[in-house]
């Protein structure tokens, strides 16, 4: 579970960096700024979930946490890339990330809550 904790913390840090960049560094259109913010908020909430799940011992918790973090990374990364480059090359990855994120939350529903 230590790796889940590390990846969740780094994911949260990256989400906050993206929020700061969209607010102070990047000159984006309002539409692209909203994309960046959505990606950052999804990633930030997934990171918080990952940190909470990292304290659980059952294997299904680890799988759920990994799915949530991976799905958020794919979804958010796609939004970041689209907002910054305005290239639609990777747009089809967003649903993959979103579905993985949702399945991670559903998996968590069946995981043992105890340590």
Residue 114, domain member (yes or no) = no
Whether pLDDT at 48 is above 60: yes
Give the chain's largest Cα–Cα span. Answer: 46
Whether pLDDT at 56 is above 70: yes
**Count of domains forming the chain:** 1
The winner for highest mean pLDDT among 22-26, 45-49, 111-115 is: 45-49
In the predicted model, what is the mean pLDDT of residues 63-70?
Answer: 96
Residue 101, domain member (yes or no) = yes
Structure tokens at 99: 């579905």
Counting residues of the chain whose pLDDT is more than 90, the rounded percentage is 86
- Global pTM? 0.92
Residue 71, domain member (yes or no) = yes
Q: How does 22-49 read in b/e, with b if 16+ C-beta sit within 10 Å?
A: beeeeebeeebeebbbebbebbbebbeb
Instruction: Find the domain containing 33 and state its range.
Output: 2-109
């Amino acid at each position: 579970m230590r790796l889940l904790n590390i990846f969740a913390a780094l994911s949260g840090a990256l989400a906050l960096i993206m929020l700061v960049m969209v607010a102070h560094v990047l000159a984006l259109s309002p539409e692209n700024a909203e994309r960046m913010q959505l990606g950052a908020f999804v990633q930030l909430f997934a990171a918080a979930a990952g940190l909470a799940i990292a304290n659980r011992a059952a294997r299904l918790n680890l799988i759920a946490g990994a799915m949530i973090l991976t799905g958020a990374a794919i979804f958010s990364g796609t939004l970041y890339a689209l907002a910054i480059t305005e290239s639609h090359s990777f747009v089809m990855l967003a649903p993959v990330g979103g579905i993985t994120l949702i399945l991670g939350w559903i998996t968590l529903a069946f995981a043992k809550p105890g340590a």
